[in-house]
Amino acid sequence: MSVLWGSIGHVRTAPTILHLDMDAFFAAAEQAAKPSLRGKPVIVGGLGPRGVVATASYEARRFGVHSAMPMAQARRLAPNAAFLVPRFSLYRSVSEQVMELLGRLSPLVEPLSLDEAFVDLEAGGAAHDAPSARATGERLRADIRTVTGLTGSVGLAGSKMIAKIASEQAKPDGLVLIDPGTERDLLGPMPVRTLPGVGPATGEHLRRAGMTTVADLAEAGEGRART
């Protein structure tokens, strides 16, 4: 096993680790709070000359707007979008509703931010195998939509790292379950940027080194391990 596959850590025999990532959270919360914004491009962030985009709704992303983009560039790409300053009191309120739903599933909830968390479904008895994990994940997504009016993407796997990758693959508004034992086959063809922690700079460095897929990176690690 390469350093890469080993870095996945302990993998359970059932996909009972859930990762939830709310979809375009700040912008979606604004759209839910103000119905006139629904279906329209919404961009949340600093509105000053040096402001950056915190979140762009999926409608705004169609124009090429994305998080961390300078706000001035976002205005050029989507001049007719609604540009809003963050309202953290609103986001915290919605986040509390989401975290309460997660707490009903398990005593072991690990929030990563206002809109993202891991949940140990096994600890709460909410799931013990793939079918029960999938059913729990779908029920959670439905409950979030009912309570908040927002959508969230769910990843289910046997480890945190793989669950997080699964939720990214599920976006937007979906669920992806990766059965333990299938990680290597599923992840191998994916771009290296799929891996948590591999940003643009690292991705470009790896590309120049001839490693564009997760399998390329794993093979390079195996080669070093053999030397």
Q: Enumerate the active-site residues.
A: 116
Q: In what order do the strands lie in the sheet with 42-45?
A: 53-56, 42-45, 82-84
Spatial separation of the C-alpha atoms in residues 223 and 227, rounded to whole Å: 7
- Determine the Cα–Cα distance for residues 153 and 138; give it in Å rounded to an integer: 10
CA atoms of 46 and 51, how far apart (whole Å)? 4
Going by C-alpha positions, the residue among 73, 72, 31 that lies closest to residue 64 is: 73
Main-chain phi, psi angles of 153, to 5 degrees:
-105, 140
